[in-house]
Amino acid sequence: MCGITGFISPSPKPESDLKKQIHKMARAINHRGPDGEGYWQDKDFGVALGHKRLSIVDLSPTGAQPMHSTCGQLVMVYNGEVYNAPELSKDLIKTGAKFRGTSDSEVILEGFSQWGIHRTLEKLVGMFAIAIWNKQSKELYLIRDRLGIKPLYWTHTKGELIFASELKALKQHPLCPTTINDNATANYMRKGYIGGSTTIYKNVQKLLPGNILRFKAKESPEIKPFWSLREVVSNATNDQYTGTFDEAKEHLTTILKDAVQKRMLSDVPLGSFLSGGIDSSLVAAIMQSHSSSPVRTFSIGFNESKFNEAPHAAAVAQHLGTDHTEMYVSPSDAFEVIPNLPTIFDEPFSDPSQIPTYLLSKLTREHVTVALSGDGGDELFAGYDRYFTANAFAKLLRQPTILRKLQANLIDSVSMETANRISKVLPKNMGKHLAGHKLQRISPALHDGKITTLYHSVLSHKQQTAMILRSGTESVDIDPEFPTGFNTKSNIALLQYIDTLDYLPNDILTKVDRASMAVSLEARVPLIDHRVVEFSWRLPHKYKVDNGTGKHILKEILYQYVPRELLDRPKMGFSVPIGEWLRGPLQTWAEDLLTTDALNSTEVFNTDYVRNIWQQHQSLQVNWEFHLWDILNLQSWLLETKRIQPSEND
């Protein structure tokens, strides 16, 4: 795992200028690769590439980057791991390739040289963000893996293309735009992250998963996909798995075992995150089945029982026989992390699980350099409770239009405070879905009758961001239409598709990448091996969902390793008691950010509105924890960004 950065200018530049600039950009992401660094530049074409190395496989100098192909035509910097490199190297050797070392970087590069870019990418199993300069054609290629596990940012400004693994490196270039994108802040306030290809800065973009960007000086960048989830789902619709459940379970087990075993390849110590839930337990179980010695597993817990999964993780670890380490998180532990969140995440980001994810990564890095994670199982195998909530409410959308709109107008007329009071007198199972802002989430979908609108609302922290922000217009940055030919009667599958396009890369994988790389830990995610993804979409819905709950087939595979009684319990999630902490140990920190002067200084928020909900939260009138956490993370980011600007002398 590493960090990459670089740029190509529209005209030649002195070599000294190229060196100074690329060194400055790479130093900004030193945490992604503290074990080494490398640089390459071509003054005649104004090209510079930088690499920060976290050594995992082939710790010798033969794995160093930038790396040159043996044909001399290609130069590459690369962030990630390709797990089937040993098999690919054997195929390349048969065609005459010769390797200096054993790094996957060298295998990828020789593949590009001999097979071409597209054919090589089709063969790769892994996670990657790649930049390749072709000396002969004078073209730069940027490539991001299929599911968006590894980040890659870029901008094209004044004829210069600039790229990096993180925005903090991009911003070290004097031409990088730093004007805040008001529309991005509006999208952030709705979901707690910035989705799609947009970023917090105007004219700075994320390369979307599964895409290749081609750039030649004095031309516009061209972006084309090499892998498409839309195509995967469309193809799977026409090629549904027809075997029995037991046959599907056996086939999926084979794929999962190979995905996990491949990700255990490492020349440095390796372990696994373990929450005690289905996904992380399955990964740890398969790891232990492949290991002759106890696998290192890690978890964190909380003194607040409703957030604490540590006892469940410990029970699973004991059954599997892993070498288990746990740490209980206190508010003071969280407080040490919170001021650093703007620097860690580079953009406003407010998934509260960012805190335990960072602390878990930090704990794990004290013992190992690589950790496997169970992320992705919920999206692929219908594990989120919200899928079933949205599916239940979707029945309301099939009502006559006049009745839907009447209900929507009625909901719109009810204040959140009134809705909260109503929910308290409803039956418990109904009240939890209709409390306050949850009731208001239904209204937009009742107006237009679309399940996509309903789910967009279900995911939303706030329906009307215009109440919070002084400017900015939201845009729906997910694919609003389902693939042609797919049976749209399966609402849950539609919601899985949306999440895999948006929530998975922009929230879950962003969180895991930034939190782990901030402490120089490589996190690997076997459940979203693209072979698992493609097979999961071929599975009949009934193999994933049984008796109104998801992940049926994953559970049945896991029960072969871990007793059912250790796992059958309600899903807890991975979060922290933000609402309580904002009234307690985090109150002073939050109040300092939300004073009238502080809010006015950033010129983003409607100050009176923010002050009002902060006071309501403190007085226990309304629980505004998620809204406030969104505001606090954006406000903290804005103030930190104003305080720290790139220095010319850095």
The residues assigned a catalytic role are 2
Tokens of 632: 């606090």
Kindly tell me the burial class for residue 225, based on how many C-beta atoms sit within 10 Å of its own C-beta (0-12, 13-18, 19 or more). Answer: middle
Edge to edge, the sheet with strand 296-302 lists 323-329, 296-302, 270-273, 370-372, 522-524
Q: At what angle do helices 229-237 and 530-538 cross, to 10 degrees?
A: 40
Kindly tell me the burial class for residue 580, based on how many C-beta atoms sit within 10 Å of its own C-beta (0-12, 13-18, 19 or more). Answer: middle
Closest CA to 178 of 337, 346, 391: 346
- Three-class DSSP labels, 17-33: HHHHHHHHHHHCCHHHC
Round to whole Å and give the CA distance between 52 and 3: 5
Provide the strand spans (E) within 504-630: 522-524
Closest CA to 176 of 24, 338, 14: 24
3-class SS of residue 472: coil
Residues 6+ apart with CB under 8 A from 244: none
Round to whole Å and give the CA distance between 355 and 368: 20
CA distances from 567 to 98, 285, 292, 373, 385 (A): 49, 13, 25, 18, 16
Helix, strand, coil percentages for the chain (3-state, nearest 5)? 50, 15, 35
* 296, β-bridge pairs: 271, 323
Round to whole Å and give the CA distance between 40 and 38: 7
Q: Give the phi and the psi of residue 99 in degrees, each rounded to 5.
A: -115, 140
HSE at residue 520, side-chain half, CA atoms within 13 A, is 17
Closest CA to 446 of 495, 486, 479, 413: 413
Tokens of 313: 């993780």
Residues 6+ apart with CB under 8 A from 592: 598
3-class SS of residue 339: helix
Residues 206, 208, 211: CA angle, nearest 5 degrees: 125
Closest CA to 347 of 174, 484, 220, 178: 178
